[in-house]
Structure 1
Amino acid sequence: MRLIPDSLIKKEKDDNLMFESSRESRIKDFKFGIKSALPIILGYLPIGTAYGILAVNKGIKPVYAVFMSVFVFAGSSQLVALEMIASNAAILAIVAMTFLVNLRHVLLSASLSLHLKNLPSFWYPILGFFITDEAFAVAMAEFDNVDHKKEYYLALGIFSYLGWVFSSAFGAFLSEFINFKSGGALDFVLPAMFIVLLLIQISGRKDLFVAFTAAVLSLFFAVGIGGSWNIILAAGLAALLGVYMDGGE
């Protein structure tokens, strides 16, 4: 009977220890991703609830409002699309505006890809679906503190996503039991949200000038051509102006 060499036995034990250590490290980073998602979830609760209430208030069935959160998962573009749907905007205009609002995700994806290298190709669309401004900011701040970035970001994205879907569903189905249409406050929720988002983004005179130009152009196109293309045209031209001003410095 031939005995197994002690060196092979030792190597197998070492490999098992390394596998267990790696597994524990991955689980640790996954749990850390869940913990990092908690502040994002708390921030999503009021906005997602407001989105669900607004959707039903605009005449969209609760289940469809939830499906939008399930399949789109982009709060700002969902709110824009919601308002355009309620105003009977053309489908092409809604798609174009959603594309413009989410165009920044191309840059976010490119930046994240530098930290998520050498993954099987099927992981990239999965992780890309969970990209949001909040998840991106948290991940970029914490990537240096984790060994397994994929597991960390996957947990961060999944639980942030579940928080958004849950809050959307809560607001949508809450509207089935409580009549929010009687008050006019909801009509100001969407504009107020975007005003806050705009103010957060403004960091200097140049940003203020571009924002003011976009507002003037939107009003001009709304009066001049009508329809629902004024926002798209104004946003596109204002973005070009911003790029030109950046290039000129």
Structure 2
Amino acid sequence: MAASVVERFREPAVDESAPFHVGHPLDRVPGMLLFSGLLDLAVRADSARSCGRRAGRVVAGLDFPWSCEFERGTTLSCRPVPGRNRAWTVAARQDAREVCAGSIAFADDDGPAAGPPGPARPLAAMPPPRHAPVDLVHRHRPENLQVGEPVRRGRGAVEAAVLRPPGRDRAAWSPVEIVEAGRQFAALLEHGEHGEHGEHGRPMDVRLLWAPVRLDVPFRLGGAVPLLLRWQVARMPGPRSRCAATLADASTGAGLGSLAYEAYAVDAERCERTRSS
């Protein structure tokens, strides 16, 4: 693919009955739907540019400066980064405003595992995870849950199992599933009192505006690998919070990747100011 080529397409209408991307009543287009569309666009463009070489890892960084509205057409774009690489600049635009922008890059092989290893635990000794409370991950449908109930490991870490949503491909974990599980894990840590479920103690009626999202995860991971997310406790003062989580093999504790999410806890008035009208 020539470096000057730009691929674009219109975001299709949001299907509010879709069980994976839509887990609660919507007043704007979900950020995960934008990520999924941008990743798909970059995958198709990269396949042509790299002559079909299969990606082993995906590294991405996205920002969400404005809300994405239902009433406006959304254009997704993907531009190759100049040079010998597999990197792409991506954006979602409504009118002339970017509602999501960043980069997506692919590596030829899996490379080294990311993140520190945890304690090895035989898979047979691991009990089935209990589901996290639905409301704490901002979902209304139990079938949307992708994280188990959090477990504190001593004073320094919180872990939660990654759950397989119904109807998804069981042969492999996709990056979209992993990123959504990480988002739910980060939301889970926001709420609760005195660490019962969450670590930041945000009230349930607060709105969370997700800002930067950073990830370095396997592009296609075997579905038989049991996954967990691990957060080293690190609280930030004020309305901003950050969850830097390690993606790990639950049977060995070995690190497989990393995910980082930042969010702002805001009231309804500030949330309304993020709309792109």
TM-score (norm 1): 0.24
Q: Which has the higher contact order (CA 8 A, sep 6+)?
A: 1
Larger radius of gyration: 1
- Greater share of residues in strand: 2
- Greater share of residues in helix: 1
